Structure 1
Amino acid sequence: MPEALNAVDTDLFMLMNGFVGTAPFIDRVAQWVVSDYLMPIALALMLIFMWFIDPDRELRVQRQLGVFVALASMALSNSVVFILNLFYFRPRPFVDNDVSLLFYEPTDSSFPSNAVAAVFGLAFGIWGVNRRLGYFALAAAILYGLARVYAGVHYPLDIFAGAAIAAPVTYLVFRLRDLLMPILMMAIRLARIFRLA
């Protein structure tokens, strides 16, 4: 990474993380948001809502296909991050800087953020089939990314890169969805047999 870009990224990180400790309530909220549970559960509930809740059968099928897209986008975004991390490793901010850490110390590469790539993969997938719910998912993903910087786990550029990976991956998955349509429709029909769709 170019030195000037790294310096700006570090300065922005230090600015955001520097607010830790000034408002204990905000710190507690950030710990809750950045946890391994809140955002994954919130987005999973959105996917469940998309899968089951819609009286119009045609619209429900489209949203069920969107659930497949969101899950595939999440998995493929994480795969892209994994491959990138084979070639580039960036230490976490708490390794090289004096930070106020609100989260445990992950040992994987900071850049790009795999957690943010996964969350944005889900959010972009949800947004692609249900705009109203998708805006909530995207807002949750942005909040999650900002909280990870505030909590001392990632640099801002790590978050941006994770989201930037998820966007084209999700677009590609939407484009490839038609190729997999027979398999996806068979899965939905099978789920209906067991009253799961």
Structure 2
Amino acid sequence: MAGLGREGTNPDVSLLQDINGLARSAPPWFNRAMEFAGEYGIIIALVLLMLWCCWTVRRLGDERESVSALAALVWTPFAAGAALLVNMPIRDFVERPRPFAEHQGIQVLARGETGFSFVSDHATLAMALGVGLFMAHRRIGFAAIGLALVEGYCRVYLGGHYPTDVVGGFALGTAVTLLFAPLALALLTPPLTALARSRRARRLVRSRRAVARSGRREQDCEQELERHETGLAA
């Protein structure tokens, strides 16, 4: 299947040339910024979003909601790793060469790229992280998915991948994250719930403020129940 993406009327190649061709007229500093973003920057930003999401979900007042979100967050890096492992045999089976190895005139900004092109590891990793964060926290997840889309654009701009390599990576990262999520959450939720209810270890799962707020809520519920029972007895 090594013939994918050769010259002709292939829209995949045309879109690659349109996007990558923008690098010709772009200033050098912009190309360097795109190179950093496509190779490392966006992945670093996604990791920082994971840390922000962890800080956010630990502060949720509802214990069940907090534990559920944290379980999804814990699953996220494992999902990304699993998606990359699944991609290894796919790349070896398809054997699609890199665009710059197949077409003349490609602006090669992705330095040191080796191996086959389909599916893009960067796109797979970014979307797996984005979908996992969306499962944990909707607003943060939207931002993460947006970053994943930018990552895909960067990979084409740098000349390291065809657009379909990126789309395949998005599909693979999403599929692996969602397909195994029910099993992962079923395994992660019980131990995280036990940690949340442990006096010594619960701060690993929930912040001090969230625990205090939850405790006040439970106390208010108990007082309301007592007043209701007293009213019935009278």
Q: TM-score normalized by structure 2?
A: 0.74
Contact 2:70 2:136 survives alignment (8 Å) = no
2:125 corresponds in structure 1 to 118
- Superposition map of 1:63-78 within 5 A: 63-78=69-84
C-alpha displacement of 1:26 = 3.7
1:150 corresponds in structure 2 to 157
Query: Which of 95, 107, 111 is the equivalent residue of 1:100?
Result: 107
Contact 1:112 1:162 survives alignment (8 Å) = yes
1:52 aligns with 2:55: yes
Contact 2:20 2:159 survives alignment (8 Å) = yes
Q: 1:8 to 1:141 in 2, by over 3 A?
A: same
- Give CA-to-partner distance per residue, 1:13-65, whole Å, 9 cap, x none: 11111111212154233123112x21221111111112223422524322221
Contact 1:52 1:60 survives alignment (8 Å) = no
Structure number with bigger Rg: 2
2: distance between equivalents of 1:5 and 1:31?
A: 23
1:141 aligns with 2:144: no
Contact 1:13 1:149 survives alignment (8 Å) = yes
1: distance between equivalents of 2:163 and 2:191?
A: 37
Contact 2:98 2:116 survives alignment (8 Å) = yes
Count of aligned pairs between the two proteins: 195
Contact 1:53 1:60 survives alignment (8 Å) = no
Cα RMSD after superposing both structures: 2.5
Q: 1:126 to 1:178 in 2, by over 3 A?
A: closer
Q: 1:2 to 1:12 in 2, by over 3 A?
A: farther
Q: 1:125 to 1:188 in 2, by over 3 A?
A: farther
1:85 corresponds in structure 2 to 91
C-alpha displacement of 1:4 = 8.7
- Superposition map of 1:122-133 within 5 A: 122-133=129-140
1:12 aligns with 2:18: no
Q: TM-score normalized by structure 1?
A: 0.86
Query: Which of 32, 36, 58 is the equivalent residue of 1:32?
Result: 36
2: distance between equivalents of 1:134 and 1:184?
A: 24
1: distance between equivalents of 2:4 and 2:175?
A: 27
2: distance between equivalents of 1:195 and 1:77?
A: 31
Unmatched runs of 5 consecutive residues or more in structure 1: none
C-alpha displacement of 1:143 = 0.4
Contact 1:120 1:138 survives alignment (8 Å) = yes
SS of the equivalent of 1:21 reads helix
Query: Percent of aligned pairs with the same residue?
Result: 28
Contact 2:118 2:165 survives alignment (8 Å) = yes
1: distance between equivalents of 2:187 and 2:204?
A: 20
1: distance between equivalents of 2:143 and 2:182?
A: 23
Contact 1:117 1:163 survives alignment (8 Å) = yes
